[in-house]
Structure formats: C-alpha cells, structure tokens
A = this chain, B = another copy of it.
C-alpha cells in the first residue's frame, strides 16, 4: 500500500487536520465497501469499478490511494487484522500453543480473512511490493508472538533449548494454510488439537507425551 497510516489520519500521535479527517472518512467508506463486496461475492469478482460504484467514491479517488485491486484487498486484510487481539498468557506452554493455533484456525475458517487470504495468496507470492508489506506486518507479528511464547516456555523449562522461533512458526501455521489453500481438508478445532498434540513432543524438553 502506498500510505499505511492514511486511515487513522496520519502518523500515530499527530493531531489530525481537517484535510486528514476528510481523507480518513472516504478511506473508511472504501474499506468497508470493499469488505462487504469480498464477503458477498469473494475476491475473484472484486473490481475497483464496483467498489467505486457501491461506495459512491470516485474511481479516480480510489486509484489515488491504492495502486491496484491487490493493494486494496491487502489494506482490508490489515484493517481487519487490527481487531485481532494479542494472546493472553496461560499456565502451561501447551495451552498457549493450542490457543495460538485455534485462534488462527478459527480466523481462517469462520471469518472473511480466510477467503481474503485464499484470494490474495497468489498475489502476495508474486508481487514483491505486496509481499514486503505482508511480511513486515502479518508475518513479523506472528513470529514475534511465537518468539515470546518460545522464550517463556524455555524459561519455564517446558521447551527444549535452542528452538528456532521461525521454524516453530512454520510448523504451527504451515499445516493450517496448507489445508486452507491446497488440501481442502477440514479446518476445525479437532484439527487444531491434533496439530498441537502431534507437534508438542517435537518442542518439549522432556518428551514424555
């Protein structure tokens, strides 16, 4: 996206001018309309022209903010991701892992985010700019969460030393996305349970079960 912080009226902490507020209002309308269209007919049939028509915002105005349809869709994704709260601590690491996995599974199967991800993944994989934005925000955020979780678990003596947080992230999330994108196998809580149950021995310091 061209301006990551245009929606909130400028850089964090700055007082928004009237011009910025105006910008933010139209941007909100565009994002909401786009989300509605995505929910209705999916990513494949999302067009800038339709967003313009439905939102009442001129096509040229939309193009002033988003270079492409993908740019716009990614903005919606990031916008929605802002609502996702960070994970609370739990008594033991296995519970924390289960919560992390279950949240992702739930997000991908019971909200718009799953559909958006499905439609956007090819563009993220191909478009360098898009990929950069996605990684710097979403991927980085996930890795940070997992890093904290791993450090906590290691300090507790539950996890083995020297675990690579990046690899752990791959192991936790990869299977979820694999089902979402390719295999089509069910994405439900039972899967989340099995996933963590299967993985925990690989992470645990004392692999008793």
Give the interface of A toward B (CB within 8 A).
42-44, 118-126, 131, 134-135, 139, 164, 166-167, 169-171, 173-185, 194-195, 198-202, 207
Contact = CB atoms under 8 A, between A and B. Distances in A.
B202 A125 contact: no
Contact of A139 (B120, B135, B183, B201): B183
A43 to B, nearest CB: 7
Nearest to A127: B44
Contacts of A170: 174-175, 178-179, 183, 185, 195
A198 B167 CA distance: 8
Nearest to A124: B182
Contacts of A169: 183
Given A170-B179, A181-B177, A126 B43 contact: yes
Query: Main secondary structure on chain A at its contact with chain B?
Result: helix
Nearest to A164: B194
Contact of A183 (B119, B135, B183): B135
Contact of A182 (B126, B139, B199): B139
B194 A198 contact: no
B171 A177 contact: no
Contacts of A194: 164, 167
Contacts of A120: 122
A164 B42 CA distance: 33
Contact of A125 (B121, B135, B171, B195): B121
A181 B131 CA distance: 9
Contacts of A200: 202
A184 B183 CA distance: 21
Q: Which of A125, A171, A178, A182 has the most CB of B within 10 A?
A: A182
Contacts of A131: 184
